[in-house]
Amino acid sequence: MKTTVAATQFACTDDREKNLATAERVIRAAAKQGANIILIQELFETPYFCKEHNPDYFSLALPIEENPAVRKFQSLARELNVVLPASVFEREGNAFYNTVAMVDADGSVLGTYRKAHIPESPGYHEKFYFSPGDTGFKVWKTRFGTLGVAICWDQWFPESARAMALLGAEILFYPTAIGAEPQDPGIDSRDHWQRAMQGHSASNIMPLVASNRIGTEKGERWTVTYYGSSFITDQTGALLQQADRSNEAILTATLDLEAIRNYRNAWGVFRDRRPELYGPLLTLDGHTKR
């Protein structure tokens, strides 16, 4: 089966409805280019509010079934016959999560993934807002392939990608919001960011799609310029498409999932795994209980 994927990027404003309209415009344009699965960036409904601690932002969170972005994506998916992972700020009871709702091409929500790894650093104060995800890593059998989706900081952890691969993912997707490190303007993590995910793609022998935001967003203390550079890899980790740092973009690539599966099976990386030796991965310090 051949599937066309799209990575996208755009700048967000303080107007939630305007951001949703931008996402719709980008999705429609990607679908017109033949995309079957379209990835929009992390938390696209608003500016990235985690730049500082501000309890007012908890009011942005909604239950999945009440979220206007999820509803809009369901309508677009049905109309355009596309799969749309939707990155949203979820409220469930008195808990808050950074969540992806997986919308299949018939408009149904197949389930949700809640971000497992929650960062805490200048300009990226997510631990104030989000509880660690409790869903475990997830994959979904969609109309256009079996997809694994994790979120931003998850992309730095090879365990996330490997878990999704073991669960049967055929393509890995990462919506993200990353840019400058405001405490040190000398840090530019763009290439490191890309190489980490290219490694996941290569090690698991499957394509990967990453969508980042662009633009400069000012907070009360920190100002962050997001470096875009959304990209798509092939099954060896090589870049097929890459956006620039500052312009809105839609990238597409057509993937032959059957041919990639045959290549992955022949390579033997899953055949030759030794899970009985991987006990240190189940600990924080590499040691079993003393």
Q: Which residues are catalytic?
A: 42, 115, 152
- The two tokens of residue 84 are 């749309």
Sign of the alpha-carbon torsion through 70, 180, 227, 159: negative
CA dihedral 240, 112, 146, 9 (to 10 degrees): -20
In this structure, the dihedral spanned by the alpha carbons of residues 158, 161, 194 and 19, taken in order and rounded to 10 degrees, is -130
Distance from C-alpha of 138 to C-alpha of 165, rounded to nearest angstrom: 10
CA distances from 239 to 209, 229, 253, 268, 270 (A): 10, 11, 10, 23, 23
- Per DSSP, the three-state class of 270 is coil
- Calpha distance 221→145 (Å, rounded): 43
What CA–CA distance (Å, rounded) separates 169 from 50?
30
Query: Which tokens is 161 given?
Result: 């990608």
Distance CA 79, CA 56 (A): 35
CA 78 to each of CA 108, 171, 222, 233, 277: distance values in angstroms, whole numbers, following the listed order:
8, 22, 40, 27, 45
Q: Do you know the residue count of the chain? A: 290
Of 222, 221, 198, the closest CA to residue 208 belongs to 198
DSSP string for 61-103 = -B-GGG-HHHHHHHHHHHHHT-BEEEEEEEEETTEEEEEEEEE
